[in-house]
Amino acid sequence: MITIDNISIPLPTIRRFPAYLRLLKEHANRGEVWISATTLAEELKLKPIQVRKDMACTGVEGKPKVGFLVSELVLAIEHYLGWDNTTDAILIGAGNLGAALIGYKGFENNGLRIIAVFDKDRRKVGSQIGGIVVSQIEDLAKTVDKFGINIAIITVPAHAAQSVAEMAVEAGIKGIWNFAPKNLNLSDNIVIQKTDLVTSFAELSAKLINHLDEQKQIQGK
């Protein structure tokens, strides 16, 4: 449960917000003005009741028989995700994954702009990655301070994650998006978001075993 503007929004709802947003923007582009929860549900394979509950969190009121104003929903969702203003972030770790994130088109219209890249490796410093010059990690604090950055994205190897995270926090970073497969130990007032590729794969693995098992049992009978 997350509270923004004194409104409590369940975390699963927050997670569904980006998918709604994408769809709503598509509809807006087609010139559509109204959309019903029923339609959204169908397109996202969710239950209408769940979409209505989620929409209720946005504070936008719908009209029975018509639905919701697309533009209102877009603005409300963007607001609760903090995407009404683009957030600047720094990235630490100029490897393959770092390059992928810098080049990722999806962030452009979704509130995230990576404005600086740092790496411990002196040989990478000065080189360009996705149009951004790699800086030495010693300059991190200066950049964070100068641009008032809150978010650091960590794409270094597991063994280096803890130490660069500490440097970032020291520099004033408030939120960390950690791609390294390592649990970070930081002060409680730092927000940590972990994206663990191995964990995602684990989920797929287990679901697939479960699924193939089921199919085998059905066929066996």
Q: Which helix (H) or strand (E) holds 215?
A: helix 197-220
Give the residue, chosen from 39, 110, 136, 143, that forms a contact with its own copies under the rule CB under 8 A: 110
Q: Any contact of residue 112 with its own copies (CB under 8 A)? A: yes
* Closest distance of CB 79 from DNA, Å: 17
- Identity of the residue, 11 or 218, whose beta carbon is nearer to DNA in the bound complex: 11
Considering only residues 112 to 171 of the shown chain, the ones binding DNA according to CB under 7 A are none
How far apart (Å, rounded) are the C-alpha atoms in residues 140 and 146? 10
Give the residue, chosen from 18, 52, 141, 166, that forms a contact with its own copies under the rule CB under 8 A: 18
Q: Any contact of residue 203 with DNA (CB under 7 A)? A: no
Q: Any contact of residue 183 with DNA (CB under 7 A)? A: no
Considering only residues 49 to 78 of the shown chain, the ones binding its own copies according to CB under 8 A are none
Report whether 115 contacts 149 (CB < 8 A). yes
Question: Of all residues in the chain, what percent are helix, strand and coil, respectively (each to 5)?
Answer: 50, 20, 30
Report whether 164 contacts 154 (CB < 8 A). yes
Torsion angle of the four alpha carbons 109, 110, 116, 118, in this order, in degrees rounded to the nearest 10: -130
Two tokens, residue 148? 């008032």
Q: Any contact of residue 99 with its own copies (CB under 8 A)? A: yes
Give the residues lining the site for DNA (CB under 7 A).
Answer: 1, 10-13, 36-39, 46-50, 52-53, 55-56, 61-68
